[in-house]
Amino acid sequence: MKPLIKWPGGKGREIKNFEKLIPKFDKYIEPFFGGGAVFFYLEPNKAYINDVSSNLILFYKMIKENNEEFIEYLKKYSLIWNLLLDTVSKDIELLNNYYDEEDEQNLKKYIKKISANTYDEKIILNTERFEKILKKNVFDKFKRTKKNEEKAPFTKKDLRENLITGFMSGLYMYFRDIYNEVMLDKIVVSNAYKIANFYFIREYCYGSMFRYNSKGEFNIPYGGISYNGKNFNEKINNLLKKETQNLFRTTNIECKDFEEFIDNLELTENDFIFLDPPYDTEFSDYEGREFNKKDQERLYKTLKKVPAKFLLVIKNTDFIYNLYEKDFNILSFDKNYTYNVRSRNERGVEHLIITNYM
């Protein structure tokens, strides 16, 4: 199986390089779950997963519970996206005329009409605001496209896609606005609404990135032209697959600090912990929390105590290497993701694999 959500730092592409190092186990444990690429690849019979991101963990819990309200909201997001895309695609010749003639008045009327037609009070919480954000994004896109065409004319297809993108980015930006209001406690919505909105943003934001401004607002823009035709329905169906439900049925899901999570488990030497912690940098997690050197040291001390086998993948720094070298086995993999026994002289190595077994 593949991960269900886009999340930075996943190890999906690297699994094949350390798969042979994974031992047989009774229980699978993952304290820094994120997108869970290794978990979904292994499909363990019994698992305990954890992440400090409350939104991410709520997302997985709602899938496990097959939460009907959450699923209903997801379907509404898909419906409204497809409705807007189909409408503006059908009206593209009309939009081309507004663009060519720089007819702002009729474009405003069109946006007002389409805002009303797209409106769904269950997910569009404020129709006036929706219209305002849609108008801003459409006008901005039309103006930027005009400017770019001064340098080099667009093909008919490229112009079409650019004009459509103005509308789709407007819809995304409205839902991003809602996401920020929920995160900053400016409005109150149900958990099902919040997590459906969260999942939509993860899917349609540029490069699945996380970034916040000084006000604490998420500010990653829309993914762009290539995201217009994304099949969100397919994503929803993937969440509801029988295989997904079966996997989560025997999975315990927690939202705790990693140390508390590990300490609360009854571990044996037959269990396996996979760890993909934040790198040794000035790191803030994907909801703004820090993970600093003291946390790295706490992780090291926690791993010294566990009876279970563990495999940790982390970026190579002097601090991390010096922290683990005396007590654990360190392998490395280079830019081609081949691995070998770590030598102190291999300063070009990018990632380390640290285990308490061989």
273-332: pLDDT as tens digits: 999 998 866 555 556 567 899 999 999 999 999 999 999 999 999 999 999 999 999 998
Q: Which two tokens stand for residue 189?
A: 């919505």
226-248: pLDDT as tens digits: 999 999 999 999 999 999 999 99
In a domain, 2, yes or no: no
Instruction: Output the pLDDT for position 209.
Output: 87
Residues 109 and 132 grouped into a single domain: yes
Per-residue pLDDT band at 338 (split at 50, 70, 90): very low
Q: Does 334 have pLDDT greater than 80?
A: no
Minimal CA–CA distance to 30: which of 301, 300, 311?
A: 311
Instruction: Output the pLDDT for position 349.
Output: 55
In a domain, 10, yes or no: no
Residue 197 domain boundaries: 68-238
Mean pLDDT value of segment 127-131? 95
What is the residue whose two structure tokens read 């994120």? 34
Contacts of 156 (CB under 8 A, 6+ apart): none
Instruction: Give the CA-trace dihedral at 302, 35, 197, 223, to 10 degrees.
Output: 130
What percent of the chain is modeled with pLDDT above 90?
83
**Domain total of the chain:** 2
Instruction: Output the pLDDT for position 358.
Output: 85
151-174: pLDDT as tens digits: 999 999 999 999 999 999 999 999
Domain boundary among 189, 206, 238: 238
Residues 85 and 211 grouped into a single domain: yes
Residues 55 and 75 grouped into a single domain: no
Mean pLDDT of the chain: 92
Assign residue 282 the CATH number of its domain. Answer: 3.40.50.150
In a domain, 1, yes or no: no
What is the residue whose two structure tokens read 């295989």? 243
Contacts of 257 (CB under 8 A, 6+ apart): 52
In a domain, 4, yes or no: no
Instruction: Output the pLDDT for position 345.
Output: 42
What is the residue whose two structure tokens read 């031992």? 23
Instruction: Output the pLDDT for position 279.
Output: 80
* Contact between residue 162 and residue 187 where contact means Cβ atoms under 8 Å apart: no
47-88: pLDDT as tens digits: 999 999 999 999 999 999 999 999 999 999 999 999 999 999
Residues 264 and 300 grouped into a single domain: yes
What is the residue whose two structure tokens read 């009309």? 94
